[in-house]
């Protein structure tokens, strides 16, 4: 959901009503009156205004066809309906939003999407083209709303691409004035917003985790200009997409569950953004003051923010360049907070990497970029004397270096073991810096690990190298790097006895969408 949920208000003035058979829905009220009056797809006139439809209950957008929608047990089945029509009856065809033909997905090696607390356990995987497994089995302890929501998600899992495309088609056709707030090409955006909405809906019973997850998103969305009055239309289009495709599990009860969940989701984000607005800007301007090319495709970029930028070692930020407006990418800070206020990032240019290529090959001192707020929880717990086991692959060494500096500044002399992985010795672009730190601090050990070709360090895969040393029972693990390395390293560390709560890494969102 690292993209704006910029949508229109429930009514012309952003207000909404309450009532309806599905419960008190608060300000979340739809803006279309009749299903048959809704636009019939993205190819229709974008500025055509559809009249308002009844507020309660929310009916499918874009179809007036009667549907038989048996409710999941234990809710009673709807009466008076016997046979369902064909899934496509009366509905606009699914399709990509009117955003042109986007290029291939950007594959930046170390961009860091918005972090999901406990993400390895809660993200609704399997809905998108990443090939991950689904997580939508019913839980006997779950509330009825949660059960209904998860059954809907299980039904749309095999056709998630169609549902996502239809969602954006509705959003941009019914609210075309919002289209300029999104990136010109929707290649990386397409899955992200819809995926995050489903993630949040699945967490409906876990209010603490839900609030933590959504609060970060709400704060981060300020940089897009998202306002409270924008949220209702996203909810309407979400419901429209689900009613269009989840015909086997949809019912008035299911619809009510989704509306209640979305109302909670949006209110948490609105409250977090309002609180953040009192203490921080939506974004920072930052001037490039240093640009060092370490390899032909890796640069260390140093910037000076226009005002103090508070963050912690191990965190990351979102970054927008002047060459690709509204295209934000995530990068880790490559150092602990500095007295001079400068910030550094390690950037690797990758094929089709718009932002990464611009930062490596085009950015020069004097250029001005924009920074979003800091985010992430891969930070050091200074209340314990546990050692740190740090695995950094590729440009993932950047936040590891920041963590080492953070430990040094706190003066606790905790043991820190760094395994720095790369394909070849040539790719160990920051090894000299790390070795100098090891010479300065007796509690720090740095081991380079190379997977391909001859090396002066360790040979093989990074997780295998870690397994050769140890034991690591008294260490907290920190992992940063490409998704495959993170996955295999997590498996290895769990296998050698490090509990999951002591393994910190980029959220599972990054493991799947690191190419966004």
φ/ψ of 465, rounded to 5, equals -65, -40
H-only helix segments in 175-297: 189-202, 207-220, 231-245, 252-277
Q: What's the pLDDT score for residue 43? A: 38
Q: What's the pLDDT score for residue 227? A: 82
Q: What's the pLDDT score for residue 429? A: 96
- pTM metric for this prediction: 0.66
Does 1.10.490.10 match the CATH number of domain 25-74+83-94+141-277? yes
Q: What's the pLDDT score for residue 197? A: 74
Residues 239 and 259: their CA atoms lie apart, in Å, by 8
Characterize the bridge pairing of strands 387-393 and 503-505. unpaired
Query: Is residue 286 within 8 Å of residue 303, measured between CB atoms?
Result: yes
Residue range 284-371 forms a domain whose CATH class is mainly beta
Distances (CA, A) of 260 to 40, 198, 464: 27, 13, 47
- Kindly report whether the peptide bond that precedes residue 439 is cis, defined as omega within 30 degrees of 0: no
* CA-based radius of gyration for the chain: 24
Given CA atoms 337, 341, 346, 347 in this order, what sign does their dihedral have? positive
What residues of the chain score a pLDDT lower than 50? Answer: 1-138, 508-516
Residues 170 and 45: their CA atoms lie apart, in Å, by 12
CATH code, residues 387-514: 3.40.50.80
What are the sequence ranges of the domains in the chain?
25-74+83-94+141-277, 284-371, 387-514
How does pLDDT run across 138-151, given as a tens digit for each residue? Answer: 456 788 999 999 99
H-only helix segments in 388-472: 397-410, 431-440, 462-468
Helix or strand (DSSP H, E) at 513: helix 508-513
Q: What's the pLDDT score for residue 481? A: 92
Residues 477 and 516: their CA atoms lie apart, in Å, by 26
Enumerate residues 6+ apart whose C-beta is below 8 A from 317.
Answer: 311, 330, 331, 333, 343, 371, 372, 373, 374, 375
Query: Is residue 431 within 8 Å of residue 420, measured between CB atoms?
Result: yes
Q: What's the pLDDT score for residue 92? A: 35
φ/ψ of 388, rounded to 5, equals -115, 125
Q: What's the pLDDT score for residue 379? A: 95
φ/ψ of 344, rounded to 5, equals -125, 145
């Amino acid at each position: 959901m690292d993209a704006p949920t910029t949508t229109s208000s429930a009514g012309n003035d952003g207000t909404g009503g309450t009532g309806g058979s599905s419960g008190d829905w608060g300000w979340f009220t739809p803006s279309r009156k009749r299903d048959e009056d809704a636009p019939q797809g993205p190819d229709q006139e974008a500025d055509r205004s559809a009249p308002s439809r009844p507020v309660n209950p929310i009916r499918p957008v874009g179809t007036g066809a009667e549907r038989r929608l048996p409710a999941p047990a234990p809710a009673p089945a709807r009466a008076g309906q016997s046979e369902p029509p064909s899934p496509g009856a009366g509905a606009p065809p699914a399709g990509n939003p009117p955003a042109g033909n986007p290029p291939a997905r950007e594959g930046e090696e170390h961009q860091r999407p918005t972090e999901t607390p406990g993400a390895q356990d809660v993200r609704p995987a399997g809905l998108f083209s990443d090939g991950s497994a689904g997580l939508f089995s019913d839980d006997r302890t779950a509330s009825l709303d949660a059960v209904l929501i998860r059954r809907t998600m299980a039904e749309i899992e095999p056709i998630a691409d169609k549902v996502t495309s239809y969602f954006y088609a509705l959003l941009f056709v019914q609210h075309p004035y919002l289209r300029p707030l999104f990136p010109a090409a929707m290649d990386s955006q397409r899955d992200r917003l819809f995926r995050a909405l489903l993630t949040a809906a699945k967490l409906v019973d876990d209010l603490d985790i839900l609030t933590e997850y959504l609060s970060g998103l709400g704060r981060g969305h300020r940089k897009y200009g998202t306002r409270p009055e924008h949220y209702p239309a996203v909810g309407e289009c979400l419901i429209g997409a689900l009613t269009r495709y989840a015909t086997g599990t949809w019912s008035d009860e299911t619809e009510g569950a989704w509306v209640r969940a979305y109302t909670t989701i949006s209110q948490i984000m609105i409250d977090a953004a309002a609180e953040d607005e009192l203490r921080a800007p939506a974004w920072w301007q930052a001037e490039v003051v240093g640009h060092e090319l370490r390899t032909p495709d890796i640069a260390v970029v140093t910037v000076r923010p226009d005002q103090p930028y508070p963050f912690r070692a191990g965190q990351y930020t979102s970054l927008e360049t002047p060459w690709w407006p509204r295209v934000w990418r995530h990068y880790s800070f490559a150092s602990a907070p500095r007295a001079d206020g400068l910030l550094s990032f390690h950037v690797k240019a990758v094929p089709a990497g718009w932002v990464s290529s611009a930062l490596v090959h085009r950015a020069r001192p004097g250029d001005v970029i924009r920074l979003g707020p800091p985010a992430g929880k891969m930070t050091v717990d200074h209340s314990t004397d546990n050692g740190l086991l740090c695995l950094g692959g590729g440009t993932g060494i950047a936040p590891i270096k920041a963590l080492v500096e953070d430990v040094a500044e706190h003066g606790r002399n905790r043991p820190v073991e760094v395994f720095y992985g790369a394909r070849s010795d040539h790719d160990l672009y920051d090894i000299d810096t790390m070795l100098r730190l090891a010479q300065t601090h007796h509690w720090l050990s740095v081991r380079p690990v190379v997977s391909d070709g001859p090396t002066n360090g360790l040979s093989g895969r990074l997780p295998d190298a870690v397994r050769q040393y140890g034991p690591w029972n008294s260490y907290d693990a920190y992992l940063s790097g490409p998704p495959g390395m993170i996955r295999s390293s997590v498996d290895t560390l769990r296998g050698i006895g490090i509990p999951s709560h002591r393994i910190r890494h980029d959220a599972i969102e990054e493991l799947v969408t690191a190419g966004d």
